[in-house]
Chain A
Amino acid sequence: DQQVKQNSPSLSVQEGRISILNCDYTNSMFDYFLWYKKYPAEGPTFLISISSIKDKNEDGRFTVFLNKSAKHLSLHIVPSQPGDSAVYFCAATILQGGSEKLVFGKGTKLTVNP
């Protein structure tokens, strides 16, 4: 059962435009939501996070929006740059046995065209 869902396996955007990556979740017990970026042959790199008690967090070109009632979050990248081309994983943390663990979505491959 996929608790964190990224329904778009890929997204293609023109340089300078906005990229919007979406993520849905099913478990209302998630504490934090995070976005990771992964280039081929590298490990995931943390990008931005948001607490479940907030609805927006911004860091430079990256903004994450959380809609708890809809169990939906999105990552906005504006303006998009060719170097942003990577796989983006949405992840959520949940307390299990006294430890928090990360649950990942399947990822969305973003391509930013020059």
Chain B
Amino acid sequence: DTEVTQTPKHLVMGMTNKKSLKCEQHMGHRAMYWYKQKAKKPPELMFVYSYEKLSINESVPSRFSPECPNSSLLNLHLHALQPEDSALYLCASSQDLVGASYEQYFGPGTRLTVT
């Protein structure tokens, strides 16, 4: 199983809502990532978890709150978002953070629209 799954596929939320994005992998990977991708731009790294601990936070606003309940799951909690936060949110995982053949497997993404 080389799949990273993400739910929901699409999400529309108001600026006062609280919602969560979910990501799951069963490849035994110990590193998981959240990326944000705007149209016609490359993915931008938001957070990295390594062995269920937050390893990198790329100065992301606190209205985005990541959580790693266990080694297979990664959540992104959303609260009081702005319309400019509308984007494709991608989850990825890799076997480890450092080493040879560094390769991330990406999920299909959640298309988020903030109204």
Contacts and interface: CB of A to CB of B under 8 A. Distances in A.
A89 B41 CA distance: 10
A34 B50 CA distance: 21
Interface residues of A, number: 26
A95 B98 CA distance: 8
Interface in B58-115: 90-92, 97-98, 100-109
B56 interface: yes
Interface size class of B (residues with CB under 8 A): 20 to 34
Contact of A101 (B41, B48, B91): B48
Contacts, number: 66
Given A99-B56, A106-B41, A45 B103 contact: no
25 contacts: A31-B102, A32-B100, A32-B102, A42-B108, A43-B6, A43-B91, A43-B106, A43-B107, A43-B109, A44-B90, A45-B106, A49-B101, A98-B97, A98-B98, A99-B55, A99-B97, A100-B97, A101-B48, A101-B56, A102-B102, A104-B42, A104-B43, A106-B41, A107-B40, A107-B42
